[in-house]
Structure 1
């Protein structure tokens, strides 16, 4: 259980934002995986100015702060988080469309934004239809589907660094590569994003969106709590072995269970929560998959999912899995 937050921190956070400030909050209700202990505090700013103010406040304090969106691709530790989560979400989710340019707050819902741009006759991010989460998270991870990334459409972002200083960062300085950007690993918040899209036919774009959504519904286990794809697709591995889900299934790991977590029976690159799963259950399965697939194919699969520890360290989940289960390969034969 997370200790009660100091009274002065509570007062300071409430002075910084007009939005929500909550303390000793359960993370399993926030997590898409329905996994996690309690967070000392969760604060939801209503503007870029407020988000920057929160970061300035926390720069002077000992408690860690971590910026989150809708928790897509996140695994919270079941022991909780002893700091402040700043959620850039529904309170910062406005956007406007002017010609081919889209100006959006980072908390904008990806499914809603994709459909809105299609209805406006703009293409370029249709591949992200059905991807859960917020625009800020998608830009941070250079996410998308069909092996495409949103980074191609990003003109600039507005970020607040760990000291609460606001900076506009242009495309060339964001370091987009496959499922990554230069902003990963920093205590910084993406607050606004400007996209440049390309003209398209609205009716045809809506048809494309609906087709993508139907395909995802048929393939993925949306009936159980999960965090989307667990493992990244490695281009070198893909050309020889195939996608992560195929590699996991061919290794005989589909439906393997640990505690309340299971490698999905429907799609092997998803780990689902059957009820009562802990982060340890998920991490054990991640370690099992990595060691088994590597022994079989020679390729090591890394995670899209990032794990948040109680002390605020945010790392790819496979790094934490390897630390917790170093002897899994030998113990599993």
Structure 2
């Protein structure tokens, strides 16, 4: 598909829809947390649920490729960019309402703000999300969390817009939450809001626990480098047998290893940093070598939490792309010519 022209009819029609801010020619390398990706043809930032519904209905009816993002904290865009529309759900679609033990949160609201707001109202249960970058929509979609917890356990309901523009509501049970999974994944719609059911607690104690979590993350994780957070999911069976991903990857010799512009963090081996103009191929090659080598050593296959976004806007776990491209394999001596160890 040819790029959308900045002054072309599609951009003009998007502007005429009045469904939020429209930008043509967006540099994904500047926008995304990994600082990787070429140009996206256009970006729309909706202002309301109604805007999201009208926009998705239009894009679907017109057959225009699109990709929905929040803070992009777990996304790896292809370095060739996005030949379509980036639908960004962020500050323009944010807000929190509290009633008793329930919090209604718009999907573009930043996760740490949600956590601190719950503490301010003496509501407990989601302390573990305080240090997670990103927006609530993405957190709910991935059932994100930390300390092996997920936001899904405190979700009462989710408001969702289908790819055809239908506004729907799902219960916690319908979302089928499990570890870093929900039934909403793999669809083309948008999480636009979530209602949380929390427990009453003491604000001082809740904030203290959050402070400790933030401090612990600052000490253990590379927070000042461009990365997607944890690259690989923690497999409970692997965790019980050989340990968490970071430990297993380090023991396989990858900590600090560099391939092209991508580097396995010397601070925590489950993070891959964009150390120097990394490409999507650099990151995928590292993911494939780590996945294949760890499997050869332990018998466990690491699945990626990071999701790859293709130029047509389709999205899937990065390890599936590695498998398809033949990148998932044990490290060989010949690979040493492409790799450097800077630990």
User: What's the counterpart of residue 235 of structure 1?
Assistant: 236
Please give the alpha-carbon distance, in whole angstroms, between the structure 2 residues aligned to 1:198 and 1:12.
46
Query: CA-to-partner distance for each residue in 1:256-304, whole Å, 9 max, x for gaps?
Result: 1011110000000000011201101100100010011000000000000
Q: Trace 1:44-193 onto structure 2 (pairs within 5 A).
A: 44-193=45-194
> Deviation at 1:322?
2.2
Structure 1 residue runs of 5 or longer lacking an equivalent are: none
Name the CA shift for 1:319/1:115 in 2 (closer, same or farther; >3 Å): same
- Are 2:4 and 2:83, in contact at CA under 8 Å, matched by a contact in 1? no
> Deviation at 1:17?
3.2
Aligned-CA RMSD value: 1.5
> Deviation at 1:314?
0.4
Query: CA-to-partner distance for each residue in 1:179-232, whole Å, 9 max, x for gaps?
Result: 000000000100011111001100011110110000000001112111100000
- Are 2:57 and 2:164, in contact at CA under 8 Å, matched by a contact in 1? yes
Q: How many positions carry a matched residue from both structures?
A: 333
Please give the alpha-carbon distance, in whole angstroms, between the structure 2 residues aligned to 1:7 and 1:58.
15
2:168 partner SS: strand
User: What's the counterpart of residue 270 of structure 2?
Assistant: 269
TM-score normalized by structure 2?
0.94
Query: CA-to-partner distance for each residue in 1:54-113, whole Å, 9 max, x for gaps?
Result: 001001112211111100110000000111111111101111111101011000100011
Please give the alpha-carbon distance, in whole angstroms, between the structure 2 residues aligned to 1:221 and 1:121.
31
User: What's the counterpart of residue 7 of structure 1?
Assistant: 8
> Deviation at 1:238?
0.4
- Are 2:69 and 2:87, in contact at CA under 8 Å, matched by a contact in 1? yes
Please give the alpha-carbon distance, in whole angstroms, between the structure 2 residues aligned to 1:308 and 1:125.
29
* Runs of 4+ displaced beyond 6 Å: none
- Are 1:156 and 1:195, in contact at CA under 8 Å, matched by a contact in 2? yes
Please give the alpha-carbon distance, in whole angstroms, between the structure 1 residues aligned to 2:330 and 2:173.
41
- Are 2:3 and 2:84, in contact at CA under 8 Å, matched by a contact in 1? no
Please give the alpha-carbon distance, in whole angstroms, between the structure 2 residues aligned to 1:311 and 1:332.
35
Please give the alpha-carbon distance, in whole angstroms, between the structure 2 residues aligned to 1:244 and 1:307.
19
Please give the alpha-carbon distance, in whole angstroms, between the structure 2 residues aligned to 1:127 and 1:297.
29
User: What's the counterpart of residue 259 of structure 1?
Assistant: 260
- Are 2:4 and 2:84, in contact at CA under 8 Å, matched by a contact in 1? no
- Are 2:28 and 2:38, in contact at CA under 8 Å, matched by a contact in 1? yes
- Are 1:233 and 1:244, in contact at CA under 8 Å, matched by a contact in 2? yes
Name the CA shift for 1:248/1:327 in 2 (closer, same or farther; >3 Å): closer
Please give the alpha-carbon distance, in whole angstroms, between the structure 2 residues aligned to 1:326 and 1:221.
26
Please give the alpha-carbon distance, in whole angstroms, between the structure 1 residues aligned to 2:294 and 2:327.
15
TM-score normalized by structure 1?
0.97
1:192 partner SS: strand
